[in-house]
Structure 1
């Protein structure tokens, strides 16, 4: 007699169980998603400790139910977790302050370890021509750049997040890049 293998629970099922306080489901959700979130965030930030803290904080937020995910959301749980983590990472980097980022950049150079390209861009966004050019973008264009460039979302994920069609995301991203090129030339 053969027994059919029971498929593992879906992310949505795990999340529902976590909302009900099931610790085993929370651990399963964490084991399923934390490793790839850490790897992907480390491409955006060279500080491993900060990345680990961001992922832990995000999952703590999930455990407490402070995340706002609802079963009617059309996005996948993985994309939703990525949005939480990427936004928390940007917030954490901003909280460090300009002096701390400058000190880290200098220490990275002394240790012959290069800062990630995104870290350098984030450090320069608050100052200079780029900040002004970004400020002059319409809110719709700025939101698309935020979702696709800074948050690292795919076109489909950005479309779900912003509540617009994927084609509109592509068009707005193209318009935003063209406007930035004109202003920064």
Structure 2
């Protein structure tokens, strides 16, 4: 099964959800490395990342995660994986793992793929405006807008109170509105 592109991915996912083992294996081969790499930008613990990737695809196989055919398959898998990562980080020792992951993210020298995409958006001056946001404001926007996490989930991921997430999101939106007006 060698389907490519959004329609092929959706067809592959549909076949996998219907119990087609070969389709599931192809889906896993196609998306598991990408999902693991993206999750590693949020968590430095490789064992946790590996578990989350497995849990994500297990949810697809068991049918407990339902694709509604209203978006990109990769985005749908990312949403499942990121939520499962939040759940994993909430478990025993989550504060320590979260602190370790955040320290790694804050101190890495290389930009993540998501940060490069955000910086490269060229609708008006959005890319430049996003780049001019402080790292704290940009992190909140990334967690809540790009990754689709709730305020509470973003707070757990970023290690800050929910009220701080709301305040930073409001400040980021205000700054972006001011620059793009």
TM-score over 0.5 for the pair: yes
The DSSP-based 3-state class of the residue aligned with 1:80 is: helix
Tell whether the 8 Å contact from 2:3 to 2:9 is kept in structure 1 after alignment: no
**Superposition deviation, residue 82 in structure 1:** 0.4
> TM-score normalised to the size of structure 1?
0.54
- Which has the greater radius of gyration? 1
- Structure 2 vs 1, CA of residues 152 and 12 (structure 1 numbering), >3 Å: closer, same or farther? same
> What are the ranges of 5 or more consecutive residues in structure 1 without an aligned counterpart?
1-5, 119-144, 159-172, 180-185
Q: 1:177 aligns with which of 151, 172, 176?
A: 172
Tell whether the 8 Å contact from 2:16 to 2:61 is kept in structure 1 after alignment: yes
**Superposition deviation, residue 153 in structure 1:** 2.3
How many residues align? The count is 122
The DSSP-based 3-state class of the residue aligned with 1:46 is: coil
> TM-score normalised to the size of structure 2?
0.55
CA distance in 2, matches of 1:78, 1:44: 17
**Superposition deviation, residue 174 in structure 1:** 5.9
1:116 paired to 2:88:
no
Q: 1:68 aligns with which of 50, 59, 66?
A: 66
**Superposition deviation, residue 62 in structure 1:** 0.2
1:101 paired to 2:99:
no
